[in-house]
C-alpha cells in the first residue's frame, strides 16, 4: 500500500487503528516492538525493515489526510467522526523523500546536493504539493537556477496569506508564453475534459501543445489520465484562476478567460465585453428560458475571443461579422444555433446534440473553412444526410456518431490528414473515394475508424495500406437485421483493436501480430481460427451473440498437444450469449487472465479455472447446466465475484482462501444453500449481495465481516434460523433487506453507527424497529410496503443527517413523531399511508425539495407550507379529507403541483408567484371553484384542469394576452394539455 503511494501520491491512505497510540505505530514500540521481535525470527531483516518503514509512514499519516482532489474529500465526508484538516505537514524525513523523488528521480538527494535540498525542504514547510511542484521545477536544472529559486522562495513574506499559492507560483513563473496560455486554459476550462478538441485549437494558435503539455506534466502542474482527460490538483487550478483574476481584479469582464456563467451572462447583456477576453464558457442548460437566449449583439465587443462554449442555449442571429478570431466553437445541446458564423479562423466545430439541420445556411461557409481540423456532430438527430465536407482538406477528426437519421455516402477523398473517423449508429452506406479505383490507402494518417451499427455494405479498396490504423470497429447493422454478409478485405498489420460482426471473418487475421483486442459481435457464422494462440499480443477476446463458436474450441491440430486454442497473453475473456456453445477449452494456460465473463452458454464446468492465478474479476451468469465452480478456492487474487442465474448450482467451493475478495454477488441460484468460509473474509469483503436464492438459508459468518460496507438481501427465506446479529458490522454503510416477508426482526440494527442508507422495502412482517438515535450518519430510510409497521422508532427525531424518508404503503402507520428536527431532510414520501392522520413539524423542513402525500386520505389539515423555500414537487393527490392548502402561494421554488381528486379542498392561494412552476394538475377537486394567478405563469408547460375551470382561465387569458397565447388553456380531449 505504501509502495503504491510512493509511486503516485493520488492514492489515499487512511490509517485506522483502534485503541492504539500513533507513537507506538511510528516508533514500533509497545506491542509493535514485541510483534517485530517475533517476525525477525521468521523473516529476513530486509523484509522486516520494509514493514517498519511502512508502519512509520502510516503512523505519520494518522491524524491528517493528504487529500489530493475534491472528489477524494467528498468520499470521506460520510466517515463517522471524520474531521477535515488542510493538507498537513509531512515529517522532515518524508518531505525530503518526496522532494528527492521529483527533483532527482530517487528517494534521497546525492551527497553533494544534500544541503541545498535541505533548504528547499524547509521552505516547502512539509506541504506535499509544494514539495512535488518545486522538486519537478528543479529536475535536471543547473545549480545556478537552483540557487536563484531558493532565494526567491526564501523571500516570500511570512505574512503572505496564501503561502502555498506563492510557492506554486514560482513554477508558473518559469513557463513560456505558450505553456502559460495552455496552463491557464486548462485551469479555467479544461480540467476533466478530453484533450483532443482543445489540442486542435492550441495547435492552430501556434501554442505548440505537444511540447507545452509535456512541460506542464513534467512540472507536476497537470496530468493526463487513462481516459485521455486533463487532471489538475484543486490548489493548482485555484492558482491558475487566481492568476487570471489578477489581470483585472475589479472588472472580471476584462480578464482573458471567463468561466462563471453568471459573469458571462451579465457581460453579454450589458455589452461590457472587451478585447482581452479570449476564452468564454456559458452553461444555461438548467436555467430559465429567458436566460438561455443569446444573440449576436452581445458578442460584438469580443474581437479576440478564440474559444466559445455554450451548453443548452438558444443562440440566434448572424455571427458571420463578429468573433473574427474564433478558433473553437462548441454549441452543445443548443435548441437554436446561429444562422451563420465566421469561419475564417475556425479550427474546431462542435455541435453535439444541437438542432442543426441539413438546410443550415452555414454549411456552404463550412466547406470553405480551410483551417477546420475537427467537426463533431454527435447525436444531431435532425440531420438526414451527410454534410459535404469534401473541400475541408485539413480535417483530422470527423464524428457523426448517433446521427441516426443520417443517410448516404461520405466523400473522404481529400482527407489526407484524417486521423479519426466515427460514424457509428448512422445510416451511412458508403465511404466514397473517387478516382484511382476508390483506394483508401492514401489516408496514411488514419488511426481510428468506428463503423459500428452503420448501413455500410463494404469497405473501400486498400484497407491493408492504412499503416497508421490502430482501431477498426466494424459491426454492420445490415448483417444484424438483414443477415447481410459483408466481405472483409485484408487489414493492416498495425491494428491493435478490431471489432467485427461479419460471418466471413478476416482473411489475414493471424497476420495481425500487433492486435491486442478482438471482438466478434452478433455474428451468425463467425470464422474464428483455432490457432488464435499464435497472436502474441492479444490481451482481450470478446465473443457476443455468436450463434456458432465451435471453431474457437478446436485445438490447432498442427500444434503440439500442449498448445491451447487461446493465447496465453490474454488478460480478459468475455463470452456472452453464445447459445450453442456447450464446451470451453481448458483455460489453464491463461496465466495472465485478470477478467473472465461467461454468460448465456451451456457448459457444464469451467476446465482449468483453478489455474487462473492472476484472475481478479469473474462474472458467471445464465448457465443452465453449470453444476460446480471447481478451482474457485485457488483464485487468491480474486476481488470481484458475480454468480447469477445458475439453475443447477448447489454449492460454491469454500471462499475462505480468497483473501482479496471485496465484492460478492450471488443471485437467482434456486438450489444454492450456502457459501462456505464466508466468515474468513472479515478483513477484506466490503460488499455482498444475495438475491432470490430461496434455499439459501444459512448466513453463518455474516457477523464476522467487519469490513463489510454494503449488504443487500433480496427475496430471501431464512427458514427457522433467526436473522444473524449485525451489531459487529461497525463499517456497514448501506443495508438493504428487500421483499423478505418472513422477517420480523433485525437484531443489532441500532448499533450500526456507520450506516448511511437503510432500506427494508417489502418486509411485511416488521412491526417495530429498534431505537435508531445512534445512527447519526443515516441519510436514507426506505420502509416502503412495511404494511405491519405501526410506529417509527424511538429517537427517530434525532436523525439529523436524514435526507430521504420513504414510507409508501405503510398502511398501519397512524402517526409520525415530530419531524421538525430533521433539518437536512430533502425528500418526504408518505404515499398511500392510508391510516396516517397528521404529520407534525412539516412546516419547519427548510431543506425539503419533495413532499408526496398521495393517497393519505385521512389527513384533514396541514400546516402553513410557505416556509418551505426549497420545495420543488408537491403531490397532494387523493387527499380526500384535506380542506385547505395553506401557504402554497409562497412556494417560489415549486416546479410541479399535483392535486387530483382532493374532493374536500375549498381554497387554494394565488399561484401567480410560482414563476418556476412547469406542471400543474388540478382535477376532481369538486369543491374548489377558483384558482387565481394561473394566467401569470408564463413558464407553465403542462396544465391539467377540469374543463369548466380551464374554460374560465381561457377567458381570462384571452382578455389579457390575446387568443393565440391563451390557447394553452383551451379544453382538450384528454385530461391535460401540453405545449
Query: Residue 558 — pLDDT band, cuts 50, 70, 90?
Result: very low
Whole-number pLDDT of residue 327? 96
Whether 683 and 709 have beta carbons less than 8 Å apart is answered as no
What is the helix (H) or strand (E) element at residue 70, kind and residue range? helix 70-76
| CA atoms of 979 and 976, how far apart (whole Å) | 10
Residue 467 CB neighbours (<10 A)? 12
Summarised one tens digit per residue, pLDDT across range 573-588 is: 998 877 655 667 889 9
pTM for the model stands at 0.77
Whole-number pLDDT of residue 941? 85
pLDDT, averaged across the chain: 84
Q: Is the dihedral of CA 816, 818, 820, 822 positive or negative?
A: negative
Whole-number pLDDT of residue 962? 45
Exposure class string for 23-45: b at 16+ Cβ within 10 A, else e: ebbbebeeebeeebeeeeeeeee
Q: What is the DSSP letter of 238?
A: H
pLDDT over threshold 80, residue 3? no
Over range 120-128, report the average pLDDT. Answer: 87
Summarised one tens digit per residue, pLDDT across range 371-387 is: 999 999 999 999 999 99
| CA atoms of 805 and 852, how far apart (whole Å) | 11
| CA atoms of 261 and 613, how far apart (whole Å) | 53
Q: Is the dihedral of CA 118, 122, 127, 132 positive or negative?
A: negative
Residue 599 CB neighbours (<10 A)? 18
Summarised one tens digit per residue, pLDDT across range 398-450 is: 999 999 999 999 988 789 999 999 999 999 999 988 665 568 988 999 999 99
The answer for residues whose C-beta is within 8 angstroms of residue 19's C-beta and 6 or more apart is none
Cell of residue 463, nine digits: 484497407
Instruction: State the burial class of residue 503 (Cβ atoms within 10 Å of its Cβ: 0-12, 13-18, 19+).
Output: buried
Over range 816-842, report the average pLDDT. Answer: 93
| CA atoms of 40 and 423, how far apart (whole Å) | 63
Over range 112-139, report the average pLDDT. Answer: 90
Instruction: Return the bridge partners of 618, or none.
Output: 596, 641
Query: Residue 79 — pLDDT band, cuts 50, 70, 90?
Result: very low
Q: Return phi, psi of residue 785, to 5°.
A: 60, 30
If you write DSSP's letter for every residue of 361-379 in order, what string do you get?
TTHHHHHT-TT--EEE-TT
| CA atoms of 762 and 231, how far apart (whole Å) | 44
Degrees to nearest 5, angle at CA 863 with 860 and 868: 135
Highest mean pLDDT among 63-77, 443-457, 568-582: 443-457
In angstroms, the Cα distances linking 438 to 400, 431, 863 are 22, 9, 76
Whole-number pLDDT of residue 563? 36
> 674: helix, coil or strand?
strand
In a 13 Å sphere around the CA of 155, the CA atoms on its Cβ side amount to 7
Query: Residue 946 — pLDDT band, cuts 50, 70, 90?
Result: confident
Instruction: Return the bridge partners of 885, or none.
Output: 908
| CA atoms of 842 and 426, how far apart (whole Å) | 52
Summarised one tens digit per residue, pLDDT across range 291-343 is: 899 999 989 999 999 999 999 999 999 999 999 999 999 999 999 999 999 99
Whole-number pLDDT of residue 564? 52
Please name the residue that has the C-alpha cell 417489502: 762
Over range 133-146, report the average pLDDT. Answer: 92
Whole-number pLDDT of residue 30? 58
| CA atoms of 204 and 114, how far apart (whole Å) | 45
Please name the residue that has the C-alpha cell 420545495: 871
Whole-number pLDDT of residue 797? 86
Where exactly are the structural domains of the chain? 2-162, 175-246
Pick from 688, 687, 660, 690: which is nearest to 674 by CA?
690
pLDDT over threshold 60, residue 774? yes
Whether 832 and 811 have beta carbons less than 8 Å apart is answered as yes
> 438: helix, coil or strand?
coil
Give the E-state strand segments of 333-483 in sequence order: 340-341, 348-350, 374-376, 397-399, 407-411, 420-422, 427-432, 448-450, 471-474
Over range 244-256, report the average pLDDT. Answer: 91
Residue 501 CB neighbours (<10 A)? 25
Degrees to nearest 5, angle at CA 655 with 649 and 656: 150
From the options 1.25.40, 1.10.1200, 1.10.10, 1.10.3470, give the CATH code of 175-246: 1.10.10
Pick from 352, 399, 345: which is nearest to 375 by CA?
399
Summarised one tens digit per residue, pLDDT across range 429-438 is: 999 886 655 6
Whole-number pLDDT of residue 70? 37
pLDDT over threshold 80, residue 965? no
Whole-number pLDDT of residue 585? 80
If you write DSSP's letter for every residue of 621-665 in order, what string do you get?
E--TT----TTGGG-TT--EEEEE--TT--EEPP-TT-TT--EEE
Summarised one tens digit per residue, pLDDT across range 169-196 is: 888 989 999 999 999 999 999 999 999 9
Percent of the chain surpassing pLDDT 90: 56
Q: In this predicted model, which residue has the larger pLDDT, 72 or 901? A: 901
Percent of the chain surpassing pLDDT 70: 82
> 921: helix, coil or strand?
strand
Summarised one tens digit per residue, pLDDT across range 630-645 is: 999 999 999 999 999 9
pLDDT over threshold 70, residue 938? yes
Q: Return phi, psi of residue 145, to 5°.
A: -65, -40
Summarised one tens digit per residue, pLDDT across range 483-492 is: 667 788 899 9
Furthest-apart CA pair in the chain: how many Å? 97
Whole-number pLDDT of residue 936? 87
Please name the residue that has the C-alpha cell 464446451: 583
* Least-confidence region, from 150-159, 587-596, 717-726: 717-726
What is the helix (H) or strand (E) element at residue 2, kind and residue range? helix 2-7
The two beta strands, 977-978 and 942-945, are antiparallel
| CA atoms of 902 and 912, how far apart (whole Å) | 21
Pick from 401, 402, 462, 451: which is nearest to 429 by CA?
451
Query: Residue 971 — pLDDT band, cuts 50, 70, 90?
Result: very low
| CA atoms of 420 and 563, how far apart (whole Å) | 38
Q: In this predicted model, which residue has the larger pLDDT, 31 or 351? A: 351
Amino acid at each position: 500500500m505504501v509502495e503504491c503511494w510512493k509511486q503516485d501520491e493520488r492514492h489515499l491512505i487512511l490509517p485506522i487503528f483502534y485503541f492504539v497510540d500513533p507513537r507506538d505505530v511510528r516508533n514500533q514500540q509497545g506491542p509493535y516492538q514485541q510483534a517485530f521481535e517475533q517476525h525477525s525470527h521468521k523473516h529476513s531483516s530486509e523484509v522486516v525493515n520494509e514493514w517498519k518503514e511502512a508502519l512509520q509512514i502510516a503512523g505519520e499519516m494518522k491524524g491528517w489526510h493528504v487529500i489530493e482532489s475534491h472528489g477524494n474529500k467528498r468520499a470521506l465526508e460520510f466517515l463517522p467522526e471524520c474531521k477535515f484538516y488542510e493538507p498537513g505537514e509531512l515529517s522532515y524525513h518524508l518531505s525530503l523523500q518526496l522532494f528527492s523523488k521529483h527533483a532527482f528521480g530517487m528517494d534521497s538527494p546525492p551527497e553533494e546536493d544534500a544541503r541545498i535540498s535541505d533548504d528547499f525542504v524547509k521552505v516547502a514547510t512539509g506541504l506535499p504539493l509544494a514539495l512535488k511542484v518545486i522538486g519537478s521545477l528543479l529536475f535536471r536544472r543547473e545549480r545556478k537556477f537552483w540557487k536563484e529559486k531558493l532565494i526567491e522562495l526564501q523571500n516570500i513574506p511570512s505574512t503572505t496569506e496564501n503561502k502555498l499559492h506563492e510557492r506554486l507560483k514560482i513554477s508558473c513563473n518559469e513557463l513560456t508564453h505558450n505553456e502559460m496560455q495552455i496552463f491557464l486554459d486548462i485551469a479555467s476550462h479544461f480540467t476533466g475534459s478530453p484533450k483532443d478538441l482543445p489540442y486542435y485549437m492550441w495547435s492552430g494558435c501556434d501554442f505548440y501543445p505537444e511540447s507545452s503539455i509535456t512541460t506542464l506534466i513534467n512540472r507536476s502542474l497537470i496530468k493526463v489520465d487513462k481516459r485521455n482527460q486533463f487532471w489538475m490538483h484543486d490548489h493548482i487550478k485555484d492558482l491558475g484562476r487566481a492568476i487570471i483574476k489578477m489581470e483585472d481584479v475589479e472588472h472580471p469582464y476584462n480578464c482573458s478567460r471567463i468561466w462563471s456563467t453568471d459573469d458571462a451572462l451579465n457581460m453579454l447583456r450589458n455589452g461590457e465585453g472587451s478585447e482581452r477576453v479570449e476564452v468564454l464558457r456559458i452553461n444555461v442548460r438548467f436555467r430559465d428560458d429567458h436566460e438561455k437566449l443569446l444573440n449576436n449583439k452581445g458578442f460584438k465587443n469580443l474581437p479576440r475571443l478564440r474559444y466559445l462554449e455554450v451548453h443548452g442555449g438558444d443562440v440566434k442571429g448572424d455571427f458571420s461579422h463578429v468573433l473574427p478570431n474564433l478558433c473553437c466553437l462548441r454549441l452543445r445541446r443548443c435548441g437554436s444555433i446561429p444562422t451563420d458564423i465566421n469561419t475564417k479562423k475556425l479550427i474546431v466545430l462542435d455541435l453535439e446534440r444541437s438542432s442543426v439541420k441539413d438546410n443550415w445556411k452555414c454549411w456552404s461557409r463550412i466547406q470553405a473553412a480551410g483551417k477546420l481540423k475537427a467537426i463533431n456532430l454527435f447525436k444531431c438527430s435532425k440531420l438526414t444526410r451527410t454534410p459535404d465536407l469534401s473541400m475541408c482538406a485539413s480535417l483530422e477528426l470527423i464524428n457523426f456518431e448517433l446521427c441516426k437519421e443520417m443517410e448516404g455516402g461520405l466523400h473522404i477523398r481529400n482527407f489526407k490528414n484524417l486521423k479519426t473517423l466515427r460514424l457509428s449508429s448512422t445510416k451511412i452506406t458508403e465511404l466514397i473515394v473517387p478516382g484511382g479505383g476508390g483506394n483508401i490507402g492514401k489516408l496514411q494518417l488514419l488511426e481510428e475508424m468506428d463503423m459500428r451499427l452503420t448501413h455500410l455494405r463494404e469497405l473501400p479498396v486498400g484497407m491493408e495500406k492504412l499503416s497508421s490504423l490502430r482501431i477498426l470497429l466494424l459491426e454492420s447493422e445490415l448483417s444484424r437485421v438483414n443477415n447481410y454478409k459483408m466481405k472483409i478485405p485484408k487489414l493492416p498489420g498495425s491494428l491493435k483493436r478490431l471489432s467485427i460482426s461479419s460471418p466471413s471473418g478476416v482473411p489475414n487475421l493471424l497476420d495481425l501480430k500487433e492486435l491486442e483486442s478482438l471482438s466478434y459481435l452478433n455474428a451468425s457464422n463467425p470464422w474464428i481460427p483455432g490457432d488464435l494462440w499464435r497472436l502474441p499480443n492479444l490481451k482481450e477476446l470478446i465473443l457476443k451473440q455468436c450463434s456458432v463458436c465451435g471453431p474457437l474450441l478446436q485445438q490447432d491440430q498442427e500444434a503440439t498437444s500442449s498448445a491451447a486454442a487461446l493465447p496465453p497473453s490474454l488478460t480478459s475473456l468475455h463470452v456472452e450469449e453464445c447459445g450453442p456453445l456447450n464446451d470451453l477449452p481448458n483455460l489453464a494456460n491463461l496465466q495472465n487472465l485478470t477478467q473472465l465473463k461467461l454468460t448465456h452458454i451451456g457448459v457444464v464446468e469451467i476446465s482449468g479455472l483453478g489455474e487462473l492465478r492472476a484472475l481478479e474479476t469473474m462474472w458467471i451468469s445464465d448457465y443452465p447446466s453449470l453444476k460446480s465452480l471447481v478451482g474457485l478456492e485457488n483464485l487468491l487474487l480474486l476481488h470481484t465475484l458475480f454468480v447469477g442465474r445458475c439453475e443447477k448450482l448447489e454449492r460454491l467451493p469454500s471462499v475462505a482462501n480468497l483473501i482479496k475478495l471485496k465484492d460478492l454477488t450471488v443471485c437467482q441460484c434456486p438450489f444454492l444453500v450456502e457459501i462456505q468460509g464466508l466468515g474468513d473474509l472479515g478483513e477484506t469483503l466490503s460488499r455482498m449481495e444475495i438475491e432470490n436464492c430461496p434455499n439459501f438459508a444459512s448466513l453463518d459468518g455474516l457477523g464476522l465481516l467487519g469490513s463489510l460496507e454494503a449488504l443487500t438481501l433480496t427475496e430471501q427465506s431464512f427458514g427457522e434460523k433467526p436473522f444473524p446479529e449485525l451489531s459487529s458490522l461497525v463499517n456497514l454503510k448501506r443495508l438493504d433487506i428487500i421483499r423478505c416477508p418472513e422477517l420480523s426482526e433485525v437484531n443489532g440494527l441500532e448499533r450500526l453507527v456507520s450506516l448511511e442508507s437503510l432500506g427494508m422495502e417489502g418486509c411485511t412482517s416488521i412491526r417495530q424497529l429498534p431505537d435508531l438515535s445512534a445512527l447519526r450518519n443515516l441519510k436514507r430510510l426506505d420502509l416502503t410496503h412495511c404494511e405491519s409497521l405501526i410506529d417509527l422508532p424511538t429517537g427517530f427525531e434525532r436523525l439529523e443527517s436524514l435526507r430521504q424518508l420513504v414510507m409508501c404503503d405503510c398502511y398501519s402507520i397512524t402517526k409520525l413523531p415530530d419531524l421538525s428536527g430533521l433539518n437536512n431532510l430533502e425528500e418526504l414520501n408518505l404515499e398511500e399511508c392510508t391510516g396516517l392522520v397528521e404529520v407534525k413539524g412539516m412546516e419547519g423542513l427548510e431543506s425539503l425539495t419533495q413532499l408526496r402525500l398521495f393517497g393519505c386520505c385521512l389527513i384533514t389539515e396541514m400546516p402553513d407550507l410557505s416556509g418551505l423555500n426549497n420545495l420543488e414537487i408537491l403531490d397532494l393527490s387523493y387527499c380526500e379529507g384535506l380542506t385547505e392548502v395553506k401557504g402554497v402561494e409562497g412556494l417560489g421554488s415549486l416546479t410541479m403541483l399535483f392535486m387530483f381528486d382532493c374532493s374536500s379542498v375549498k381554497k387554494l392561494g394565488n399561484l401567480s408567484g410560482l414563476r418556476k412552476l412547469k406542471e400543474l394538475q388540478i382535477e376532481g377537486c369538486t369543491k374548489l371553484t377558483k384558482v387565481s394567478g394561473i394566467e401569470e405563469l408564463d413558464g407553465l408547460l403542462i396544465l391539467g384542469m377540469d374543463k369548466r375551470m380551464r374554460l374560465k382561465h381561457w377567458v381570462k387569458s384571452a382578455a389579457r394576452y390575446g387568443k393565440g397565447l391563451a390557447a394553452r388553456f383551451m379544453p382538450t380531449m384528454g385530461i391535460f394539455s401540453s405545449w
